[in-house]
Structure 1
Amino acid sequence: MATRIHWTPAAIPDQTGRTALITGANSGIGLETARVLASHGARVILAGRSRARLDEATVTLRADLPQADLDTLLLDLGDLASIRAAAERVAAAGTLDLLINNAGVMNIPERRRTRDGFELTVGTNHLGHFALTAQVMPALRRSPSARVVTVSAIAAKWPSGALTDLMSEERYRPMGAYAKSKRANVVFTRELARRLAGTTIDAVVIHPGAAMTNLQQHTRGPVARALTGVMERFLMGSPEGAAWPSLYAATSPDVRSGDFIGPAARNQTSGTPKRVSLPRGADDRTEGERLWATSERLTGVPFAI
């Protein structure tokens, strides 16, 4: 019997003529996602909050892909004014075919706030992407076939991710706040998919599995750092492999709106990314509508479909 060849990024269809916006594209999973899409002909907009790091990422990509069609966009997901300015530029520029909500923060030791007063983790990972997606919707509508891919995490399934005390005002736990933000990514995507039904835009959420990226930058203390080293060596994959679910969700014709896509196994490159089970209750319409209304109220951004 012939061995079945699983999906790899080589299977991605030609992306010439399509434009992708990737948040957090200057490093890690975002940078690898940008590299692969650019190598398949897409025009890629790298979004991030540091001009120097965006320029460095562009140089890195052009070293391997001299003909790559790249642009950069200053975007601070913890600042609604920055999000509005970036979205206005994207919406005014033409058509957007792929929006990959990839950027995120994790394990912030003390409770901190965004410029607009939101708890930093949920404010960045969920509210920032909610506001961005809402405001680039005009550009997504111009595409004959657009996708919004939001990067969640395995933490979305943790009990500590319940969407109560969303701003962690009663109690702040670094990884609890992260779990809330990642569950919010899933609940938001499922609600977005329902509202986009019948349009030319799909919404997909993914988790990348475990990989060593800049998310681990807040690991503190010798024991924690030693544990992280062990995890990096034996348990965690690479940013290259961790980008596979994002790339598959963004480009595969087999993906459906509302899907939750994860890696085939701990070794992300061992098989085709697959649909995975949702966090318990994440598809509840009441929770989806409540989070949507709360996100509109907090950000002051109406989200019209």
Structure 2
Amino acid sequence: MNHWTPENIPDQTGRTALITGGNSGIGLETARVLARHGARVILAGRNQARLDEAADAVRAAAPEAQADTFVLDLADLSSVRDAAVRIAETETIDLLFNNAGVMNLPERQTTRDGLEMTVGTNHLGHFAFNAQVWPAVNRSAAPRVISVSADAARWPIGKLDDLMSEKNYRAMGAYAKSKRANIVYTLELARRTAGSRIEALVIHPGAAMTGLQQHGTGALSRIVTSISARLIMGSASGAARPSLYAATSPQVRSGQFIGPAGRDQTSGTPKFARLPKGADDQAEGERLWAASEQLTGVTFTPEP
């Protein structure tokens, strides 16, 4: 049976994709594939040298590619503001990938603004960036916003009460909260832009060995870095397929949650995934939106 592959992506000439965490892993693979199909890609990350290396890798994969970079630290709201304002003033963003993230920080850490680091980076940094870069998204004739979540969003320890883990910090609990927040945020964004040309989608990439595991400690770290785990986990190229499908397929619709074809991430078409229980509850979406505005100090009114 025929199934979707990146070769099915239609020509992206004239479209611009902005990818947070575009310097490695899933983000870099997403950039490579889109560039091969004619898109201009903008890679955002914390380190300019690594961004330059990533841009070179994109151009190596697609010699005619337009690959630009800018420094963005999602754990610093002043960096988020400065980067977003620059993009909002000068760019049209057709595809916005909320892709960057951190995972499994062994101790509770805070961002420069005093937010719990994992949720502060994976959700709140993206929320503030999306809000302030929105004029560039609004200029597009057919914009899509794609947020990268994870299966961890289903874990019971990922409930969004105690969002900043002030009462109890668990490394993977904070990660699960951040990934549930990615879904709840995207569904609320889809509701607030319903009936417009804007499409908001969320994906989970399945298991893959990427830079996300760099903070692991103890037993979990030993597992995910072992040879056996590397054999079980998929590749960044396979894990990028749900993002690419969500960004380019005419079959998707705003508010959908898309996952990989299966453990063998390249064996079929990315499929619509079951939402975590209660993630589509409008009241939870409204609560998270209000909390995100309060914690970041950024008002987000995504008028189409």
Shorter-chain TM range is: over 0.9
Is residue 144 of structure 1 aligned with residue 144 of structure 2?
A: no
Does the 8 Å contact 1:141/1:200 carry over to 2? no
CA distance in 2, matches of 1:29, 1:261: 15
> Which residue number in structure 2 is paired with residue 59 of structure 1?
56
**Structure 1 residue 137 displacement after superposition:** 1.1
Stretches of structure 2 lacking an aligned partner (at least 5 in a row):
none
Give the counterpart letter for 2:238 in structure 1: G
CA distance in 2, matches of 1:5, 1:245: 17
Give the counterpart letter for 1:5 in structure 2: N
1:248 to 225, 245, 250: 245
TM-score after normalising by structure 2:
0.97
The alpha-carbon distance between structure 1 residues 167 and 69, as it changes in their structure 2 partners (threshold 3 A), is same
**Structure 1 residue 222 displacement after superposition:** 7.5
> Which residue number in structure 2 is paired with residue 23 of structure 1?
20
> Which residue number in structure 2 is paired with residue 46 of structure 1?
43
CA distance in 2, matches of 1:39, 1:45: 14
CA distance in 1, matches of 2:190, 2:220: 42
Moved more, 159-168 or 216-225: 216-225
Does the 8 Å contact 1:46/1:54 carry over to 2? yes
Does the 8 Å contact 1:148/1:202 carry over to 2? yes
Root-mean-square deviation (CA, aligned residues, Å) is: 1.2
Give the counterpart letter for 1:53 in structure 2: R
**Structure 1 residue 224 displacement after superposition:** 3.8
CA distance in 1, matches of 2:55, 2:229: 26
What whole-Å deviation, never above 9, does each CA across 1:47-73 have from its counterpart, x for those lacking one? 001001101111222222221111001
Identity of aligned residues (%): 69
Structure 2 counterpart SS, 1:145? coil
> Which residue number in structure 1 is paired with residue 204 of structure 2?
207
2:176 to 174, 179, 204: 179
Does the 8 Å contact 2:103/2:216 carry over to 1? no
Structure 2 counterpart SS, 1:113? coil
CA distance in 2, matches of 1:263, 1:226: 22
Stretches of structure 1 lacking an aligned partner (at least 5 in a row):
none
The alpha-carbon distance between structure 1 residues 304 and 222, as it changes in their structure 2 partners (threshold 3 A), is closer
CA distance in 1, matches of 2:220, 2:113: 35
Paired residues, number:
302
Moved more, 225-234 or 119-128: 225-234
CA distance in 1, matches of 2:61, 2:191: 39
The alpha-carbon distance between structure 1 residues 114 and 223, as it changes in their structure 2 partners (threshold 3 A), is closer
**Structure 1 residue 5 displacement after superposition:** 1.1
2:236 to 232, 235, 239: 239
